[in-house]
Structure 1
Amino acid sequence: MKKSSIERFWEIDFLRGIAIIMMVLYHLLYNLHYFAHYNINVYSGFWMYFARATATIFIFLVGVSISISFSRTKNISSDTKEARLFLKYLRRGLKVFSWGLIITLVTWVFLREGFVIFGILHLIGISIILAYPFLKLRYWNLLIGLFCLFLGAYLKGFVFNFYWLSWLGFRPAQFYSVDYFPLLPWFGLVLIGIFFGNLLYPDYSRKFQLANFSSFSVIKIFCFLGKHSLFIYLIHQPLIIALLYFFGMAKINLF
């Protein structure tokens, strides 16, 4: 029997909501360091690992969500054509990637040095498109994902004299960007997310027992944030910077 309505798994939204709070906190500290010149070490130590943990949750959940979305589409309509399915992910990926391009333009105008060439939205957008052929591989995604992580870690030990493959993970010498998430290793984390999505939510159903805490007020707040993660991601940085300006804590030379 096919499900006729869209069911959301509250725990996915909840985890994404936690990642949103972590992201906003880190970017607040980063902006205090970058724009207000507070002595906060955001590039190493605890806060660096905090930022990496935040990104890891986000990107892992991208893979989980893609697998759940694919299962849902198949569950609702088993006769959906492959071309139509691919177009769905192509449109979704291009939408997210387009927002990444807008961030590239905005950061180039306002920052110049360190502007975003291939940030997390670029990664997520391309990953949504690239992930489609992997959705049916199921358990192979774990091995391929781990290989991508290994290859990305290996490439990190080298620098190159060209820029055109920086999006893939070939980091140029003297390269600096305030937001850099190349496909290697990060696409590997998406594939691992797809693996766990297939393992834990096969056929658009939860394979494990979990009490429903979604009616609790605090949980609802986190789930709400998780459902609107893209919107929050897009507005939180301009909002934080505007508040720093308003309170006289930051000065930015635009030109």
Structure 2
Amino acid sequence: MRERFWEIDFSRGIAIILMVAFNYLFALQYFHIYQTGGGWLFWWLFPRIVASMFIMLAGVSIAISFSKRKDYRKHFFVRGVKIFCLGLVITAVTWLLFPEETIFFGILHMIGAGIIISIFFVRFRVLNLLIGAVLISAGFFVERLTTNNLWFLWVGIAPENFHTFDYFPLLPWLGMMLIGIFAGNTLYKKGKRTFEIRKTSLSKNMCFLGRHSLVIYMLHQVLLVLVLYAVGYIIL
């Protein structure tokens, strides 16, 4: 079994708890079951902070995996395709139940595509930091552009008045992943931790959540959508 670094699983565990909690509150508000309140800091900034945690941790994991695998190209391609396909499942479910809010390119699509693209960048170190910063900056420019179709959603160009439950295009989010790869190559040189850190009393449970974050994410998405759709339908 390949060595796992508990602090990465721990951080991912925190992120999945925050994401599930946010999505739950969002669903309550969306169906007018309970008005949770909250302003710009909560509804816009908070989910992006949590998503940044996931995406950067994915980048760190990519760097560590690269240092330990000779078959990293095949591994990244297969892993990326699997995660992207899970994103397509979310697309199908939301298209069936919420056609006006369909998730065409959400966080799973982005992470899946990003893992595949990382094959060409994972060897870089400081250059990833620079490219990542450029892509993030480009994202702020691209989001102002509009188009009359959905074919450029993946890059960050959406139609006017575009609505979706979840949208994480490659610009700027691939930049976050590349910065995560830079961090992984810096903090875990040759797959070994370059710093010391002590486990906390919460490590075991939180690491469990982190190790199974993808399964938890998929289950909570499907269950949340189905249950709250039923509840919302009854109320409405």
Using the aligned pairs only, state the percent identity. Answer: 46
Give the counterpart of 1:88 among 75, 79, 90.
75
Q: How does 1:151-190 map to 2 (within 5 A)?
A: 151-190=138-177
CA apart distance, 1:42: 6.4
Which of 204, 207, 214 is equivalent to 1:230? 214
**Contact (CA 8 Å) 1:103, 1:116: kept in 2 or not?**
yes
Q: Does 1:115 align with 2:99?
A: no
| Structure 2: unaligned runs, 5 residues or longer | none
Output the CA distance in 1 between the equivalents of 2:211 and 2:87. Answer: 19
Q: Which runs of 4+ in 1 moved over 4 A?
A: 241-246
Confirm whether residue 18 of structure 1 aligns to residue 14 of structure 2: yes
Counterpart Cα distance in 2 of 1:47 and 1:118: 19
What does the per-residue CA deviation read over 1:204-231, in whole Å, with 9 as the maximum and x for residues that have no partner? 10111212x16x3x21111000000100
Partner of 1:77: none
> Which residue in 1 is equivalent to 2:50?
54
Q: For 1:190-229, list aligned pairs within 5 A.
A: 190-211=177-198, 213=199, 216=201, 218-229=202-213
Between the aligned partners of 2:50 and 2:186, the Cα distance in structure 1 is 23
Q: Per-residue deviation at 1:201? A: 0.3
Maintained 8 Å contact 1:29/1:42: no
Which of 94, 100, 125 is the equivalent residue of 2:87?
A: 100
Q: Is the contact between residue 41 and residue 47 of structure 1 (CA under 8 Å) also seen in structure 2?
A: no
- TM-score under structure 1 normalisation? 0.86
Aligned match for 1:239, one of 223, 226, 235: 223
Are 1:31 and 2:24 an aligned pair? no
Cα deviation for residue 232 of structure 1 reads 0.3
2:4 to 8, 16, 29: 8
Structure 1 position 39, deviation (Å): 2.1
The answer to whether the Cα contact below 8 Å between 1:42 and 1:48 also exists between their aligned partners in 2 is: no
Aligned partners of 2:111, 2:171: CA distance in 1, in Å? 13
* Counterparts of 1:202 and 1:162, CA distance in 2: 44
Q: Quick check: 1:30–1:42 contact (8 Å CA) kept in 2?
A: no
Name the CA distance, whole Å, in 2 between partners of 1:162 and 1:242: 29
Deviation at 1:17, TM superposition (A): 0.3
Which residue is equivalent to 2:136? 149
SS of aligned partner of 2:100: coil
Corresponding residue SS for 1:8? coil
Aligned to 1:252: 233
Query: In the superposition, relative to structure 1, how do residues 90 and 167 fare at CA in structure 2: closer, same or farther (>3 Å)?
Result: same
Matched with 1:128 is 115
Change (3 A) 1:122 1:43: farther
**Gapped regions of structure 1 (runs ≥ 5):** 74-79
Q: Which amino acid aligns with 2:211?
A: K
Tell me the CA shift for residue 170 of structure 1.
Answer: 1.0
1:167-190 deviation digits (Å, cap 9, x = unpaired): 111122121111100000000000
How many residues are treated as equivalent by the alignment?
A: 234
Q: State the distance in 1 between where 2:36 and 2:45 align.
A: 14
Change (3 A) 1:89 1:189: same
Q: Which residue identity is paired with 2:233?
A: I
Give the alignment's TM-score, normalised by structure 2.
0.93
The 1:182–1:42 alpha-carbon spacing in structure 2 relative to 1, beyond 3 Å, is farther
